[in-house]
Structure 1
């Protein structure tokens, strides 16, 4: 089970790094306000209305109904994170967290006894015998 979880998490993290470093370009072709074609990474195909108007002999002016939209999401170029990019509080937290985490795996020779340094109470008289109360 642990191996399966490790494989799934490593694949998920690899995909996240890949998707965050790739620049995404989405290109849309609109005709009369409706989306006719959407394309990732390339130019969207047009609807053919401009060719049809040119074949009919009408001139395509500035008030034609087709429009192209595109937007680009820039990917992260610098993946190398420096220790000095973090603030002092974050550095102190990371140092304390890693130290406490590694201390969890230190082998212990014998289990600690929590009441080792405290002596038992002094019994003046045996109350159970005096009251004749015994556990059976």
Structure 2
């Protein structure tokens, strides 16, 4: 249960770092205070292609009028002030890494080739149980 919570915590923290460092922009097009189009990675399409109702002489907002439509852009800036870690390899670190990888790779090599020298011999035959004869029992 503890490892499950650790995995969830690690996932949420990595998602938080990813979300805080990325930048994106959302472009929105409103007509008559209603959202018509939303584009995250591009430009929102306007409502120019919709026909304006010419027969109504009232000044109510209708689709196609330019004074009722507006575009809004929401920009989220990414944070680029992350601490970078430098890792320098000196001679001691290189020797340690070479030995570590060499021993780890050779750790499992040849396990199937090891033979048991007494595999062909039978265990000794016991005529009598000596512990039972001497009445010696392990408690």
TM-score by length of 2: 0.45
Instruction: Report the structure, 1 or 2, having the larger helix content.
Output: 1
